[in-house]
Amino acid sequence: MRDEARDQRGSMPAHVAIIMDGNGRWAERRGMSRLNGHRKGAEVVREVVRACPELGLRHLTLFAFSTENWKRPAREVLGLMALFRRYIRAEADELASKGVRVRFIGERGRLHPSLQKLMAALETRTAGNDELVLTIALNYGGRDELARAARALARRVAAGEIEADAVTGDSLAAELDTCGLPDPDLVIRTSGEMRISNFLLWQAAYAEYAFIDALWPDFGAPEFERVLAEFAKRERRFGAVTA
Ligand code: IPE
Ligand code: IPE
Ligand code: MG
């Protein structure tokens, strides 16, 4: 770790969320199929996850597949699903032994049962770990998550379990897939696009954003460290005024 990053550990974010974008363009620029870009992207995921303990980061959330990504050609979608299965199988031992707790957010019902099974098994296997909480957003959309939470609350009101007036920001947040996770302090998006693409709409209300030009396969631990050092210099006000 560079001294600069170490000195600023006090201002480290508790939770960083990343929109890993640019795999397809990375591959296309090399005359390769988009899936090759996704494969290279998975290697970068490994590098970034490994860097977290040294950086003192306790919560990392990665956007792997959005509720809108089903619109892509079937070949790419199937290839991504196969890659998710391969990633879980290949990484499970290392994640479990390094103290990483893995959880998945998103709507699981549309995923292949074999993938759902691998996800649930990895969550169970790593449930007792607490060095790093790695949250993987798979078939995740912020609007879908909020609609599911609203339905869950409506059902509880209809069943007479809670009063409609008892619905608050906290009770809504408790129904989200991210229940129990701190809100992200920093959202990073690679590939130069400056949009949130339906990621953590509720949770990122006061997140800082970092839009990085590098495509995700060109990102890595050194760039990650640089973004964190830049975050440490920002002043967050949460609507208040500086003392
Ligand atoms: C991000 O890379 C990965 C997923 C959305 C699954 P893209 O596949 O969106 O890459 P670009 O944006 O087309 O370059
Ligand atoms: C966001 O990237 C989703 C993931 C990184 C998984 P997209 O590439 O799907 O977003 P848009 O379509 O450019 O907004
Ligand atoms: Mg993209």
Tokens 């790419």 correspond to 76
Angle at 98 between CA 135 and CA 6, to 5 degrees: 80
> Mind listing the pLDDT tens digit for each residue in 52-94?
999 999 999 999 999 999 999 999 999 999 999 999 999 999 9
Domain presence at residue 225: yes
Domain presence at residue 168: no
Does 28 have pLDDT greater than 80? Answer: yes
CA distances (Å), origin 110, targets 19, 113, 115, 165, 198: 21, 9, 10, 33, 18
Q: What is the pLDDT of residue 11?
A: 86
In which band, very low, low, confident or very high, does the pLDDT at 3 lie, cut at 50, 70 and 90? very low
Residues with CB under 6 A from ligand 2: 19-21, 63-66, 69, 193, 195, 197
Domain presence at residue 160: no
| Mean pLDDT value of segment 200-218 | 98
Distance 186 CA to ligand 2 centre (A): 18
Examine the residue annotation and report whether 129 is marked as an active-site residue of this protein.
no
Q: Is 129 helix (H, G, I), strand (E, B) or coil?
A: coil
Examine the residue annotation and report whether 21 is marked as an active-site residue of this protein.
yes
Distance 209 CA to ligand 2 centre (A): 16
**Alpha helices (H) in the chain, listed in sequence order:** 3-7, 23-28, 34-55, 74-97, 113-126, 142-158, 169-175, 221-232
For residue 217 and ligand 1, the question of a CB distance below 6 A is answered with no
Q: What is the pLDDT of residue 242?
A: 80
| Mean pLDDT value of segment 103-124 | 98
Does 10 have pLDDT greater than 70? Answer: no
Q: What is the pLDDT of residue 238?
A: 94
Q: Which of 18, 25, 138 to mutate to test the pocket of ligand 1 (most atoms within 8 A of CB)?
A: 25
Domain presence at residue 164: no
Domain presence at residue 83: yes
Give the contacts of 226 (CB within 8 A, at least 6 positions apart): none
Domain containing 213: what range? 2-141+186-231
In 168-237, the DSSP E strands lie at 186-189, 208-211
Distance 217 CA to ligand 1 centre (A): 10
Instruction: State the CATH number of the domain containing residue 219.
Output: 3.40.1180.10
Which one of the listed residues 69, 129, 183, 198 is annotated catalytic?
Answer: 69
| Mean pLDDT value of segment 111-139 | 98
Contact predicate 211/194, CB 8 Å = yes
Domain presence at residue 176: no
Return mean pLDDT, the chain: 95
> Mind listing the pLDDT tens digit for each residue in 143-174?
999 999 999 999 999 999 999 999 999 999 99
Q: Shortest CA distance to 37 belongs to which of 61, 8, 4, 72?
A: 72
> Mind listing the pLDDT tens digit for each residue in 31-46?
999 999 999 999 999 9
In which band, very low, low, confident or very high, does the pLDDT at 6 lie, cut at 50, 70 and 90? very low
Task: Give the number of domains in the chain.
Answer: 1
Tokens 């460290």 correspond to 225
pTM: 0.95
Does 2 have pLDDT greater than 90? Answer: no
Which helix (H) or strand (E) element contains residue 59? strand 59-66
Tokens representing 29 are: 């620029």
Domain presence at residue 81: yes
CA distances (Å), origin 75, targets 79, 84, 87, 102, 243: 6, 14, 18, 27, 55
Cα dihedral across residues 113, 117, 118, 123: positive or negative: positive
Contact predicate 140/197, CB 8 Å = no
In which band, very low, low, confident or very high, does the pLDDT at 5 lie, cut at 50, 70 and 90? very low
Does 107 have pLDDT greater than 70? Answer: yes
Domain presence at residue 161: no
Q: What is the Cα–Cα distance from 38 to 71, expressed in whole angstroms?
A: 17
